[in-house]
Structure 1
């Protein structure tokens, strides 16, 4: 169903309110921490396509949040706090969020 959600958002972007778009983005972003690998990968693909043709502000907020989450994971690893309570799925979801940010602009590197 995730590919259809992306199509519906892009197709109806002018009909959806900002709060509805934020709610859909947050729902898809929450799927990045799902227990199933396939769901996480599809969610990352949908987010990448939404960043290509969606709202610039939502894309920027998502990129910034993914980058700060990756920085916090990296700092915890450097401090050797491996038992920080984060699951493998959430770490993988953060990596997929960064990958989606890069894949959203394949010929240009996002900030």
Structure 2
């Protein structure tokens, strides 16, 4: 299980380096990001799940999902890039377009890997 998570994190790190060198700019201000994800490995594999975040500068507040009411701090607000841990597991956030972010959750108990695509709502 840890090998799969380490592999995903390694691939994500490469993507983070490529994105951080691009000219993406984060959507300024207080924004809600919302979308769906798929459990790609582990308990509930194939299921669809939803996630809503509020991101202000580089602070992420989970409004729904397994880390509801918890926060993480991203290392960059423009573009949105970073990782953090909550009670639910390890999160990675990567802005892929001006109004789109990819979010990955790696949980250990129960083991699962979830990938979300979220869009800016406001």
Question: Higher relative contact order by CA 8 Å / sep ≥ 6: 1 or 2?
Answer: 1
Higher helix share: 1
Which structure's CA Rg is the greater one? 1
State whether TM-score is above 0.5: no
Q: TM-score, normalised by structure 1?
A: 0.28
Higher strand share: 2
